[in-house]
A and B are shown apart, each in its own frame.
Chain A
Amino acid sequence: MPKLIRLHDGHAAFANDAYVTVADEDETPASGDVILPLERFRTEGEVLLSNGRNVGVLLASDQAIEDIAQDLTRLSLVALSFPKFRDGRHYTSARLLRERFGYDGEIRAVGEVLREQAVFFVRCGFDAFEPADGSTPEQWMAAAGRFRHVYQRGADDRDPAFIERTQ
């Protein structure tokens, strides 16, 4: 299992993962926090939430963020899957979550999550990562902060060059 890195106030650290990710073929555990694939969430989510449990949803790379838009206020976590690191769809999903839906829960990158993508993840609004390459929080932050300047607006709070230049 990859170790979980969480980003908090610009600092990254290994974190204990209280969530259990329920695979399609698994039983949902009787207690504790869970991450459910979208289909499972549709059938089981309501009950789990009404029992007061923390519930996250895992979206496959071809599933749209709009499908959980109604539920976002009740979800403590959204996990976005990168089956291949080349599949960049969920960079958009993360930005939409933060910028359009105002989601402030955890957005976690899972799958082929590599240090080389750290800067893109962070800039698109992800704040939790399961690095598949065994990166440490220090390596992760070094990669995410490699560039002293950025050129575009993202879901993070970095000023793009065109704003920096006015200051």
Chain B
Amino acid sequence: MYRYDAIDRAFVEDRAAQFKAQVARRLAGEISEDQFKPLRLMNGLYLQLHAYMLRISIPYGTLSTTQLRKLAWIARTYDKGYGHFTTRQNLQFHWIKLRDVPDILDHLASVEMHALQTSGNCIRNVTSDPRAGATAEEIEDPRVWSELIRQWAALHPEFSFLPRKFKIAVTASPHDRTAARLHDIGLLMRKGREGLGFEVIVGGGMGRTPYVGPTIREFLPAEHLMSYLEAILRIYNRHGRRDNIYKARIKILVAQLGAEEFARQVEAEWEAIDRPSLDLPQAEIERVRAGFAAPAFETLPGRSDAFEAAKAADYALARFARNNVHPHKQPGYAIVDISLKAPGETPGDATGDQMDAIADLADAYSFGEVRVTHEQNLVLAHVKLDDVAAVFAGLKAIGLASANINLVSDIIACPGLDYCALANARAIPIAQDIAVRFANAETAEKIGELKIKISGCINACGHHHVGHIGILGVDKKGEEFYQLSLGGSAAEDAEVGKILGPAVPADKVTDAVDQMIEVYLRERHAGERFIDTYRRVGLVPFKEAVYAEAH
């Protein structure tokens, strides 16, 4: 993975020093909370219900084991011994003290990390494919471009006070694991006759008005990426709405102008902009590309007899292999997903001790690198097939061997009303309840791929709009209710789910999910996933099942 040079190092040190001074001025009363709030937010520091929350940037979801161990240490030293991985591939600590934050930032800087731009109306952490550099599907490692964007976005002088937050995703695979079409900008790598480039999608997003973003340019030569991003951001900075926080995202501007007119304005700006001064020199692109060179893979046969024998002997390992282990581009290697969704646990949480243990496994078996997925799981991207059984045993020892990736209990849930000051309702207990109901691994495998996503309010941090089943907490006359939606997708076939009907009370949510699964099992044709059946039969049978009692 990319390593900081002296410039990058100096930058995060300066940033930590700057925030230290800002905190001191706040504590001395020299700046008001109104003035301090955007400054702390630009450092990922929120005030939640019980304490401050610090959101640490994990650029494109890639961590070295040194970094993961540092996070584990921070969890134990400054928090309550755990952290929460988010749908933006970041890590949140929920029990942080303001007075400790400057020291925490120093510790992060010492391992080439920061909390810069994990909140606030600026360009946020770039999302990328957790299987980057490991999947045979991709054109090239999308993290090369993600890192270039990270640097370009860091304290951008023109774009640090945008109308609203701004999220970019980069992927280079036909299978989209970044929810690119639901970002402010989604960049899909393409290989054209002229070389590498990107399909540019602008104006997707969730929240109050969800949109699947339209494509505004089919092919942008990769070497012009920076000047083109600059043109898009400039149009947005000038014309995005600032009078209404709910209409301030770029998706609203794109929807109001129409994708064509928006694209025309971007192209006109791009014509006028000084491209040669903005586009990166080839040498810089190559420098960063070298940072993502493939690790020293061994030459191995495509099949591991040891692994096959171990699977035959251990049914649990075989199940783990079916659900959590995926093909690798290098013969004899595999991509191993680590589920942070053990039924009954908090989705996305890991303790400091678990982080340390995962770092040990990554050092022993995966070139010292760990990935974070937007579905709140972790990935060991380069595991030898020969070693999968050892990894499985290691995960079992720390309670993280759940073989449920993409299954019903692999639920995304935001922190909700247990932590978040903006929430309408709790999300975690709902996720726990559903996961426990479907904890039986056989049942879950029989049901197959099913993505349940839960948000505690319309801000949609839990991506409920794009869940096969989406669950949104609402406040109905002061009580926690949950609105169900069906048919969403965050993948390459992105779609916003449709609302099923009236919201249901908390104790009816799991029953409703159960009823919808019954409908699916009854209606499905061979080989159909839940979402496929829904697409074929429509909303009605599901609706009838859930609201049957009411009739």
A165/B237 in contact, CB under 8 A: no
A119 to B22, CA, bound (A): 14
B5/A165 in contact, CB under 8 A: yes
Contact status of A149 and B11, CB under 8 A, knowing A89-B238, A91-B237, A114-B35: yes
B287/A91 in contact, CB under 8 A: no
The smallest C-beta distance from A124 to any residue of chain B, in angstroms, reads: 5
A130 to B277, CA, bound (A): 31
B281/A88 in contact, CB under 8 A: no
A151/B11 in contact, CB under 8 A: yes
Contact status of A151 and B154, CB under 8 A, knowing A89-B238, A116-B39, A162-B284: yes
A6 touches B (CB below 8 Å) = no
The interface stretch among B159-167, B187-195, B488-496, B505-513 is B159-167
A165 to B286, CA, bound (A): 12
The smallest C-beta distance from B315 to any residue of chain A, in angstroms, reads: 52
The smallest C-beta distance from A62 to any residue of chain B, in angstroms, reads: 8
Residue numbers in A under 8 Å from B422 (CB-CB): none
B161/A88 in contact, CB under 8 A: yes
B548 touches A (CB below 8 Å) = no
A119 to B14, CA, bound (A): 13
A95 to B156, CA, bound (A): 12
A147/B157 in contact, CB under 8 A: no
- Selected from A92, A100, A147, A166, the residue in CB contact (under 8 A) with B158 is A92
B14/A146 in contact, CB under 8 A: yes
The smallest C-beta distance from B363 to any residue of chain A, in angstroms, reads: 30
A116 to B21, CA, bound (A): 11
B277: nearest chain-A partner, CB-CB: A153
221-253 of chain B: CB within 8 A of chain A? 234, 237-238, 242
B160/A88 in contact, CB under 8 A: yes
B310 touches A (CB below 8 Å) = no
B283 touches A (CB below 8 Å) = yes
A132: nearest chain-B partner, CB-CB: B35
A146: nearest chain-B partner, CB-CB: B18
The residue among A87, A92, A114 with the most chain B CB atoms within 10 A of its own CB is A92
B17 touches A (CB below 8 Å) = yes
* Contact digits for A128-167, partner B, Cβ 8 Å, 1 yes 0 no: 0000010000000000001111111110000001111110
B152 touches A (CB below 8 Å) = yes
B150: nearest chain-A partner, CB-CB: A151
* Contact digits for A78-89, partner B, Cβ 8 Å, 1 yes 0 no: 000000011111
A87: nearest chain-B partner, CB-CB: B242
B240: nearest chain-A partner, CB-CB: A89
B121 touches A (CB below 8 Å) = yes
Contact status of A92 and B234, CB under 8 A, knowing A85-B161, A147-B11: yes
Give 9 nearest A-B pairs by CB, closest first.
A88-B161, A123-B157, A162-B284, A120-B157, A91-B158, A149-B7, A151-B151, A147-B14, A161-B7
Pairs A–B under 8 Å by Cβ, sample size 25: A85-B35, A85-B161, A86-B161, A88-B160, A88-B237, A89-B237, A89-B238, A91-B237, A92-B158, A92-B234, A100-B272, A119-B155, A120-B158, A120-B161, A123-B157, A146-B17, A146-B18, A147-B18, A149-B7, A149-B14, A151-B152, A153-B277, A162-B284, A165-B7, A165-B287
Residue positions of A touching B, CB distance < 8 A: 64, 85-89, 91-92, 95, 99-100, 114, 116-117, 119-120, 123-124, 133, 146-154, 161-166
